[in-house]
Structure 1
Amino acid sequence: MMRRMGEGVLMIVVLVLVCGLGVKGDASDHRYKEGEHVPLYANKVGPFHNPSETYRYYDLPFCAPDNVADKKEALGEILNGDRLVDAPYELNFREDKQSKSICKKTLSKEDVAKLRDAVAKDYYFQMYYDDLPLWGFLGKFDKDKIDPTEYKYLLFKHIHFDVAYNDDRVIEINVQTDNNLAVDITEDKEVNVEFSYSVTWKKTDIPFEKRMEKYSKSSSMPQHLEIHWFSIINSCVTVLLLTGFLATILMRVLKNDFIKYSHDDEALEDQEETGWKYIHGDVFRFPKHKSLFSAVIGSGTQLLALAIFIFLLALVGVFYPYNRGALFTALVVIYALTSGIAGYTATSFYLQLEGTNWVRNLLLTGFLFCGPLFLTFSFLNTVAIAYSATAALPFGTILVIILIWTLVTAPLLVLGGVAGKNGKTEFQAPCRTTKYPREIPQLPWYRGTIPQMAMAGFLPFSAIYIELYYIFASVWGHKIYTIYSILFIVFIILIIVTAFITVALTYFQLAVEDHEWWWRSVLCGGSTGIFIFCYCLYYYHARSDMSGFMQTSFFFGYMACVCYGFFLMLGTVGFRASLLFVRHIYRSIKCE
């Protein structure tokens, strides 16, 4: 039975990977003969400043073919909000057209009002021609020349396509609109419009393999690269300063502590016991809420593995510009496959902490991140349905995700938990824990949890905040981010800085005889996620033009889930680093 279940899991994973990561057009080899039909799909329309608020192309009163055929899409494309349909234009290979009419249409008052609202909100359309993306605006609005207090709304009725080819392949496509070929839709009245288009083909020497490079050039321009490298230098300086700071602690302070605690002089025995050595009987006392603690460590380890695998795929070139849905497909598949890591880590650590109900702990691990994500998705999908937006997932896609969770994620989580239970090991504590906990002395306010979290989160955030703008502009805007090597370096720096600053704060906490460091290390390590969410507030109000309930709810809803994921991941990093440090220093002294 286990063999059949494993075969079923493998088949689902292979199907998702094949369908999601290898998105191709109808013409699989992208080679065409003169006059041959080249696939052109209309994707979506929406306000330019609200990337999540997109609608189907034919939701607006455009000229539609008699039989509108939807393109069969992969999982990642649907998650990305793509809804490709046959476009009303016919761009046959190397076939110029001067001006061809699509249709003559009488726009009713309701149609005019809908289009005027779309023009006022800077609606754009997106299409794909032989898998090459192209965009254009529906119209423009400007102040009336006669009466500056009034606005004039123009709808573009003619589109010109410039297409470049090399031998038998399409290399580039651009769209142009002409203000002189526009119709005035300012007034609420019926308008007769003849929609038309023209096509011009030209030869180019750009090879087919490099036709996507123009979409990534903006992020590779010298001025942007300088900013990226400045970000890395800034992060490296932060790491060096922090490393030097920690080295001072480890080499000088700890060395003096080791010498002091190694002496057995009577003079030392008469002194009052203070410092981190004298809480050795409490420092390895297991934390409260050990089931939740283990679930946090398990989920954080899974998310760290997920991030590393995504970076590896990015570095080998899987996520090239406009590989539609590849990132979303990879996220779904890799998260499902790494659930075994969460199950194993959480169960193994929970049993080390002498937990008894490992099944409940496994359920908590499975829902710790997926639960809030599912609730957020349910609310946002309902909002998208109310707006009739393409961000609303069809029932079939939701069913596929549920099946992946049921047939892949849950079984691997259970298998990981069983493996963690069978491979149970004892918690390695160099000191024996006393029966009764030592009282924690009264500490000043700045040694409290919240001030320590603020200090712990600021340094890692300062190492990544420059890069955050480019990521946000790519995810919540129309910029393209392709410099994954730099992003990976910044990610590694983030992990290092988080580990170092958490270790430093853990030492300061132990030095004042506060032995409750377990949860504190998680909270301090994960506090960068809170800083990132604060940056979301700044970005939304100061750096973007997003507006409306749907876009606002999508931005803050999904960014809250992302920041929560960062909290779990970096909290795990902080705890693991602190645990190694605490074990090392207490192993280096004599404890009675």
Structure 2
Amino acid sequence: MSPDVRLSVSWLSRVVLLFACCSHAFYIPGYSIRSYRDDENIPLLVNKVYSDNSQLQYAYFELPFVCPPTGRKHHGSSVASGHSIPLNLGEVLRGDRIKTSDLEVNMGQDIDCQYLCDRVVGRKEMKWAQQLIEGEFLTEWILDNLPGATSFVTVDRSRKYYAAGFKMGYKDFDVATGKERFYLYNHHTLVVRWRKAPGRAGDNGGKVIVGFEVYPKSISAGHRNETGCPLDVSGDQEPLALFIPANNSGLTEQYADSSYVPIEANEDLNDGATMTIPYTYSVYFREAKDVDWANRWDLYFSDQTGSSSTHWLAIVNSLIISGILGAVCIVIWGRTMQGDAKGRGDGVLEEARLRIIRRAEKKKSTTGLLEKPAEAAPEDDLMSDEEPLEEITGWKMLHGDVFRPPPYGGLLAPLIGSGMQLVFMIVGLLVLSCAGVLNPSWRGGFWSVAVGLFVLAGGFSGYFSARVYKTFGGQNWRKNTMMTALLFPGLVFTLVFVLNLFTWAQASSTALPFSTLLGLACLWLLIQLPLVHFGSYIGFYRSAVWEHPTRTNAIARQVPPQAWYTKHQITLALGAGLVSFAVLFIELIFLFRSLYLDKSSYYYVFGFLSIISALLSITIAETVIITTYIQLCAENYHWWWQSFFVGGASGFWIFVYSVWYYATRLHIEGFVSSLLFFSYSALACAVYSLATGTIGFLTAYMFIRRIYGGVKVD
């Protein structure tokens, strides 16, 4: 589905369009078409610079070697250059800092060359420019909500595609000196592709933008006319080298009697030496009749069309693994529900005890011998010719302990509540993404909706946490409520705040403003906390406790010696987690490439991701059923935490994969960038493990309730 898809004409869309007409400023990114008439100004916005080799980003106008905003207003525009565009929460979280620029772009007006400014920089500013070029930073400009793109063609020249952003410069050897030099792109050719607007707007002369390409070029400061433009923009020009001659006056005096003078430059960054960088640009409008407005984002995805086979391979791989585990679960279900039990769990033992009592009473009436009371009859009497040994051993022996509350249940309940909150958020994001609501044209929409869903799901978090806590026999529901509302969100907020200190020190736009942190804290404490409290009250006082099908003995049963794979919970969990990781592994390759290796591309195959997520959930449920059954057959009733660990163990393997990806695929440099990568990778894996661990816990709970009593979870 194309990111820019118009809403179907329905009563709801009519209401939205009516509101748009009344407000005169309503715009739905990706859905509302913006048309321009000839000579109408099109605002060109500048955002930031970013790199695949760094986790740090920088606002464009904060760079000391670019043209600063003059504050001049464009013809027909109400805002001046340098004006900050209002950002949504997601845009701030992703490091956007969008402002209007001084570049004049009017529909249909070609500009061969326009002078912008002369920027005088010293050695310090020049060094920063060289570092950004060395780090392969890309610049992001925006026109009509489209990011400025670098245009490419396939090897056979049969297809064209875009990569968002364009380079700031390049590194090459100077022919004259033979030394390595950095060259800055100081002239930008903008190619705006347009076509006639659909409908009535097109009949009235309206045009829509379907492409925005940027071709940067490095041109030296010499050979320019009186306007500041190069004499020949399109021809071959000497590039602009970022180089300030060394101050060797002191060295010349020191080596006055020698023909040798060292060539090392004076590294004093504040010696007052400067260079001038002239900036110019060109604008050309070209009609593109073969591109529809609704499909204008397709060129940003064309280079990824060959990966469809990879996604289908991931689905086939997931189906095979899920199918094998499903067959094992069917065998287990058959053994427990038909073979082993021939009934419903604990009923086998109760019926066996009744048969022993009847046999004892019959013996007493026929022989007259004194017998022990039936209730005191040893359980060894169950092992008679009428009751085979395999029917009363294994998991059936745990009927009085299998629902015994786990240790640290007061911690497990809040984790389950937060896990349900994350499951609700993830499902909502996948549904909205598959429906096309969340797409690249809605800049920052994914993170904005994610935060909104997480906050609103606080009621689910409190409800499930309270019900699990009540099932464990807890009484202090207020304490459980506060732990649910503060534990996981508090840890996340603390981590983000600490990492923000490092990005603040780097003057990076990745750092969240203090106002944003304050707003997030208000969402957490003023909205989510009351919702968690409300959900906890409903779950604890207005909902019945989950009744278990068997009674719990007063004295805990001793767990017999365990095999090596059930003796340590971590061993069984990691082994099972590796199976779940295998389901996600192939799709994870594509996801990591979009997130880290090629930030200029967009992850768009949410349909495939939704299918993989569904198969992953099924696989986790099957894995938990198998491991829980193995554990119960070993007469080990400590399954509560074990099911949670098994469900979330694949998050550990995802983090291991992240470490491997960092070491072998990425070229991230710098302590802060590495710290951000590992910290946010660990946070993402923790979120994943919390959600999948909750799925595992609920699966095991329903499975055990079923085999021990046939009672469905209410």
Structure 1-normalised TM-score? 0.90
Match of 2:214 in 1: 175
CA deviations on 1:328-387 (whole Å, 9 max, x unpaired) are: 110111111110000011112211221011101011111232021011101111111111
Distance in 2, matches of 1:276 and 1:252, equals 11
Q: Write the distance in 2 (CA, Å) between the matches of 1:351 and 1:22.
A: 48
Aligned counterpart for 1:198 among listed residues 271, 274, 282: 282
2:410–2:474 Cα contact (<8 Å) kept: yes
- Give the direction of change, closer, same or farther, for the CA distance of 1:140–1:215 in structure 2 (3 Å limit): same
Could you say which residue in structure 1 is the equivalent of 2:110? 96
> Quick check: 1:210 aligned with 2:295?
yes
- 1:247 equivalent to 2:330? Answer yes
Q: 1:374 & 1:84 partners in 2: Cα distance?
A: 25
Select 1:511's aligned residue among 630, 633, 649. 633
Of 256-265 and 397-406, deviating more is 256-265
SS at match of 2:240: strand
SS of equivalent to 1:218: helix
> How much has 1:269 moved relative to structure 2?
6.1
Letter in 1 for 2:319: C
Find the residue that maps to 1:100 and give its secondary structure. Answer: strand
1:464: which partner in 2?
A: 584
Is contact 2:459–2:533 with CA below 8 Å preserved after alignment? yes
| Contact 2:550–2:708 (Cα < 8 Å) also in 1 | yes
2:168 counterpart residue number: 138
| Counterpart amino acid of residue 123 in structure 1 | F
Counterpart residue type for residue 69 of structure 2: P
SS at match of 1:89: coil
- 1:267 equivalent in structure 2: 385
In 1, the alpha carbon distance for the partners of 2:701 and 2:336 equals 19
CA distance in structure 2 between the aligned counterparts of 1:562 and 1:191, rounded to whole angstroms:
45
What letter is aligned with 2:36? Y
* CA-CA distance at 1:253 after TM superposition: 6.3
Q: What CA distance in whole angstroms lies between the structure 1 residues aligned with 2:410 and 2:547? A: 19
Q: Residue 536 of structure 1 aligns to a residue in which SS?
A: helix
Instruction: Answer yes or no: is the 8 Å Cα contact 2:646–2:693 preserved in 1.
Output: yes
| CA–CA distance in structure 1, aligned partners of residues 543 and 554 of structure 2 | 24
**8 Å CA contact retained: 1:55, 1:388:** no
* Corresponding residue to 1:580 among 702, 705, 708: 702
What is the alpha-carbon distance in structure 2 between the residues aligned to residue 295 and residue 481 of structure 1?
32
Q: 2:504 matched to 1:421?
A: no
Matched, 1:124 2:243: no
Aligned partners of 1:64 and 1:544: how far apart in 2?
33
Name the CA distance, whole Å, in 2 between partners of 1:130 and 1:283: 62
Q: In structure 1, how many angstroms separate the alpha carbons of the residues matched to 2:462 and 2:588?
A: 31
Report the secondary structure of 1:201's partner residue: strand
Larger deviation, residues 442-451 vs 183-192: 183-192
Deviations 1:108-157 (A, max 9, x none): 22222222222222122111111110121111003455777x42211112
Compute the RMSD of aligned alpha carbons. 2.3
Please give the alpha-carbon distance, in whole angstroms, between the structure 2 residues aligned to 1:115 and 1:48: 17
1:54 aligns with 2:46: no
Deviations 1:402-455 (A, max 9, x none): 222233211111111111122231332111111111111111222221110112
Q: Does 1:453 align with 2:537?
A: no
CA distance in 1, matches of 2:425, 2:27: 20
Letter in 2 for 1:344: Y
Answering whether residue 476 of structure 2 is matched by residue 380 of structure 1, we say no
Structure with a larger share of its residues in helix: 1
Deviation at 1:274, TM superposition (A): 3.0
Give the SS at the match of 2:603. Answer: coil
Which residue is 1:5 aligned to?
none
Deviations 1:44-84, CA, capped at 9 Å, x for gaps: 12334225433443323111232222222222211121101
Residue 188 of structure 2 aligns with which residue? 159
Asked whether the 8 Å contact 1:526–1:571 carries over to 2, the reply is yes
In the alignment, is residue 38 of structure 1 matched against residue 122 of structure 2?
no
- Structure 1 residues 46-445: aligned runs within 5 Å: 46-67=50-71, 68-134=82-148, 135-144=165-174, 150-167=179-196, 168-179=207-218, 180=237, 182-187=239-244, 190-205=274-289, 206-219=291-304, 221=305, 223-252=306-335, 255-259=338-342, 266-267=384-385, 274-445=393-564
Q: In 2 relative to 1, CA 505–29 (structure 1 residues): closer, same or farther, beyond 3 Å?
A: closer
C-alpha separation between the residues in 2 aligned to 1:365 and 1:469?
A: 34
Q: 1:130 to 1:358 in 2, by over 3 A?
A: same
Q: Say if 1:108 and 1:23 are closer, same or farther in 2 by CA, change over 3 A.
A: farther
C-alpha contact (below 8 Å) 1:57/1:125 kept by paired residues: no
Q: Find the residue that maps to 1:267 and give its secondary structure.
A: coil
The amino acid across from 1:192 in the alignment is: T
Task: Give the percent of matched residue pairs that are identical in Structure 1 and Structure 2.
Answer: 28
Higher radius of gyration, 1 or 2: 2
Per-residue deviation at 1:588?
Answer: 5.9
Deviates more, 1:253-262 or 1:96-105: 253-262
1:137 maps to amino acid: K
CA contact (8 A) 1:105 1:194 kept: yes
Deviates more, 1:139-148 or 1:329-338: 139-148
Local SS of the residue matching 1:340: helix
Question: Aligned equivalents of 1:170 and 1:295: distance in 2?
Answer: 50
How far apart, CA to CA, are the structure 2 residues paired with 1:42 and 1:586?
A: 64
Q: Deviations over 1:12-32 (max 9, x none)?
A: xxxxxx9xx96659xx85222
| SS at structure 2 position matched to 1:175 | strand
Task: Tell me which moved more, 101-110 or 497-506.
Answer: 101-110
Q: Is the 1:352–1:425 Cα contact (8 Å) retained in structure 2?
A: no
Please give the alpha-carbon distance, in whole angstroms, between the structure 1 residues aligned to 2:336 and 2:522: 55
One-letter code of the match for 2:137?
Y
Q: Any idea what the Cα deviations from partners look like across 1:29-50, whole Å, max 9, x if unmatched?
A: 5222222210111101233422
Q: Does structure 1 retain, via aligned residues, the 8 Å contact 2:594–2:602?
A: yes
Deviation track 1:450-485 (CA, whole Å, cap 9, x = no partner) reads: 110112101111001111122222233332111111
Contact 1:522 1:572 in 2 (8 A): yes
TM-score relative to the length of structure 2: 0.75
CA distance change for structure 1 residues 46 and 510 in 2, over 3 Å: closer, same or farther?
A: same
Distance 2:582 2:397 in 1: 35
Cα distance in 1, alignment partners of residues 474 and 385 from structure 2: 43
Please give the alpha-carbon distance, in whole angstroms, between the structure 2 residues aligned to 1:159 and 1:330: 35
SS in 2 for 1:318: coil
